[in-house]
């Protein structure tokens, strides 16, 4: 994690509603990726591996949607209350630019 990202992550002073859900989803994805690695090591058919990779990509996209919803419900609302919505919106735009290329 870059210094700037680490610095940004420490600026959050509110609870994220879906944090536990996100962590659980990422743990399942992590296990799924390990299983795909094992499939490749075992020489499983390429179409089977590609199907599993597609499932992981979909799971990651779904997790990103949960994080985005959390950001909208927590971070943006908190930013408006604290008067720094411009910075939070700029951070969101940058994150979306990186996520959707």
Q: Which pLDDT value is given to residue 7? A: 46
Q: Which pLDDT value is given to residue 14? A: 66
Q: How many CB atoms lie within 10 A of CB 95?
A: 15
CB-based contacts of 88-94 (< 8 A; 24+ apart in sequence)? 91/8
Q: Which pLDDT value is given to residue 10? A: 46
Position with higher pLDDT, 46 vs 10? 46
pLDDT digits (tens, 9 = 90+) for 32-91: 999 999 999 999 999 999 999 999 999 999 999 999 888 888 877 777 788 887 887 888
What fold is seen in the domain 17-98? Methane Monooxygenase Hydroxylase; Chain G, domain 1 (1.20.58)
Q: What share of the chain is helix, strand, coil (3-state, %, to 5)?
A: 80, 0, 20
Q: Which pLDDT value is given to residue 6? A: 46
């Amino acid at each position: 994690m870059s210094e700037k990202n680490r610095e940004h992550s420490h600026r959050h002073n509110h609870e994220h509603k879906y944090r536990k859900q996100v962590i659980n989803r990422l743990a399942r994805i992590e296990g799924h990726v390990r299983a795909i690695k094992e499939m490749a090591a075992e020489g499983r058919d390429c179409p089977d591996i590609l199907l599993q990779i597609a499932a992981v990509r979909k799971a990651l996209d779904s997790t990103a949607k949960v994080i985005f919803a959390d950001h909208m419900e927590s971070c943006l609302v908190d930013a408006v209350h604290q008067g720094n919505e411009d910075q939070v919106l700029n951070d969101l735009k940058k994150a979306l630019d990186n996520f959707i290329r």
